[in-house]
């Protein structure tokens, strides 16, 4: 069986991070979303993968090439015009015309286990087309799925209203017959009508995924996904090329990659991740669910808490970064502080191009795009979003008259 991964859409709601990378190239727990998906597919014996790409596709193609280094064969389909999921699937028809079934996955979902294994197990037991359904914290953001006693999907409401909410939602993973291409022709590539047709014919089985699952829609979902994946870690892993000087304290599952240098007085409380070639200065505190991407520098006396630094990041001395996501090649000046809650501990609202969005979280820091430079002594309020490439001068309160 072959797999199709849909990775073309830009996903504007994940700005500022998707302005400079495809969504599946965001790193969660130190690893690209797409890498995790490919590893899971390889584990279940699927070695032929078709990637549908568009936005920043050269980043995916350069990193994964033809899949040799990942033990798979990758072919690329470019969706030049973003005309929806049905259109993206239809573009793969010539790659799948010798197959009876294929596995389909959206490129922006993560599970804390091999969700593809569960899909294939159900498929081989039933022999029927299926959708993997998950149990999110809240089903309000998603199309809701209703099941019958035989685990067939009896109803799917794409945009449920209050009072209609089900516990189950589509996880973004399916096993479909190649007959789907005929349905797409029939319904002008409207995938919703195709699924509704399968449901009406009682041909779409449900495979239930009861473990952790997340659809990464908004920037704070990166932190939630990071926590979910890091909770799988059980032991510390320290590369033998890492240098820990003097009194470095390690608690819990901490992953330290090659050629990391950590100075004396620093404490790391797992789960946390320190990427290769990074430097952690004296007396730093790296708290749980923190990811320091490769080639980063953390200055003296700084504290990180529940944050993701995507890489090539410099954090100046005596800074605090908490409940935040920081893009690639970012420089935060000395004394930078991310304030991660309102004084009233009320839920934090975000102002976006699409209107006000309630994060439903009381602790949210800053979301800083790639190539940002912020000068010394700045305080960033809860929910601050900084677009890629911005330069903010030092916060100087007094200057010389000379």
Mean pLDDT of 137-152: 80
The strand pairing partners of 97, in sequence order, are none
Name residues whose C-beta falls within 8 Å of residue 45's C-beta, 6 or more positions apart in sequence: none
Does residue 220 have a pLDDT over 80?
A: yes
pLDDT at 163: 63
Which tens digits make up the pLDDT trace of 250-262?
999 999 999 999 9
Does residue 116 have a pLDDT over 80?
A: yes
Mean pLDDT of 241-253: 97
Mean pLDDT of 237-256: 97
DSSP secondary structure string for all residues of 149-161: TTSBEEEEESSPP
pLDDT at 25: 97
Mean pLDDT of 56-60: 97
Which tens digits make up the pLDDT trace of 159-213?
666 666 668 899 999 999 999 999 999 999 999 999 999 999 999 999 999 999 9
The sign one gets for the Cα dihedral 168, 217, 79, 209 is negative
Mean pLDDT of 389-395: 96
Write out the two tokens for 279. Answer: 């430097």
pLDDT at 370: 98
pLDDT at 143: 73
Full-model pTM: 0.94
Higher pLDDT, 76 or 155: 76
DSSP secondary structure string for all residues of 243-301: EE-SS-EEESSEEE-TT-EE-TT-EEESSEEE-TT-EE-TT-EE-TTEEE-TT-EE-TT
- Domains in the chain, ordered, with CATH? 2-217 (3.90.550.10), 237-392 (2.160.10.10)
Which tens digits make up the pLDDT trace of 348-361?
988 777 778 888 89
Name residues whose C-beta falls within 8 Å of residue 209's C-beta, 6 or more positions apart in sequence: 111, 115, 118, 132, 133, 134, 135, 171
Between the two ends of the chain, the Cα-to-Cα distance in Å is 74
Helix or strand run (H / E) with residue 41:
helix 33-43
Residue of 52, 51, 55 whose CA lies nearest to 23: 55
Q: Are 34 and 64 in contact (CB under 8 A)?
A: yes
Place of tokens 């505190």: 285
pLDDT at 287: 98
Confidence of residue 140 (pLDDT cuts 50, 70, 90): low
């Amino acid at each position: 069986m072959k797999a199709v991964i849909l990775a073309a859409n830009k996903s504007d709601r994940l700005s500022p991070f998707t302005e400079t990378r495809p969504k599946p190239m965001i790193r969660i727990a130190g690893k690209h979303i797409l890498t995790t998906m490919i590893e899971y597919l390889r584990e279940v014996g699927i070695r032929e993968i078709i990637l549908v790409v568009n936005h920043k596709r050269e980043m995916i193609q350069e990193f994964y090439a033809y899949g040799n280094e990942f033990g798979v064969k990758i072919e690329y389909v470019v969706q030049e015009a973003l005309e929806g999921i049905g259109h993206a699937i239809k573009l793969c028809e010539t790659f799948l015309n010798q197959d009876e079934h294929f596995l389909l996955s959206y490129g922006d979902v993560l599970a804390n286990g091999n969700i593809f294994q569960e899909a294939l197990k159900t498929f081989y037991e039933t022999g029927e087309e299926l959708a993997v359904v998950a149990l999110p914290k809240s089903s309000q953001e998603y199309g809701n799925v209703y099941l019958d006693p035989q685990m067939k999907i009896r109803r799917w409401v794409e945009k449920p209203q209050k009072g209609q909410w089900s516990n189950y939602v589509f996880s973004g993973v399916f096993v479909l017959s190649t007959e789907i291409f005929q349905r797409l022709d029939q319904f002008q590539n409207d995938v919703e009508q195709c699924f509704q047709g399968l449901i009406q014919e009682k041909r779409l089985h449900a495979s239930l995924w009861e473990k952790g699952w997340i659809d990464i829609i908004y920037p704070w979902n990166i932190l939630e996904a990071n926590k979910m994946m890091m909770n799988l870690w059980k032991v510390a892993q320290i590369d033998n090329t890492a240098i820990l000087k003097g009194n470095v304290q390690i608690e819990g599952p901490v992953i330290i990659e090659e050629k990391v240098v950590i100075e004396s007085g620093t404490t790391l409380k797992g789960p946390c991740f320190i990427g290769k070639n990074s430097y952690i200065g004296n007396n730093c505190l790296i708290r749980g669910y923190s990811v320091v991407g490769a080639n980063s520098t953390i200055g003296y006396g700084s504290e990180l808490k529940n944050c993701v630094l995507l890489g090539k990041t410099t954090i100046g001395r005596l800074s605090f970064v908490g409940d935040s996501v920081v893009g690639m090649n970012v420089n935060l000046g000395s004394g930078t502080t991310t304030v991660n809650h309102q004084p009233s501990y009320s839920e934090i609202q975000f102002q976006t191009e699409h209107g006000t969005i309630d994060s439903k979280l009381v602790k949210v820091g800053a979301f800083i795009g790639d190539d940002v430079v912020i000068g010394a002594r700045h305080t960033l309020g809860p929910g601050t979003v900084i677009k890629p490439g911005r330069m903010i001068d030092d916060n100087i309160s007094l200057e010389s008259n000379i």
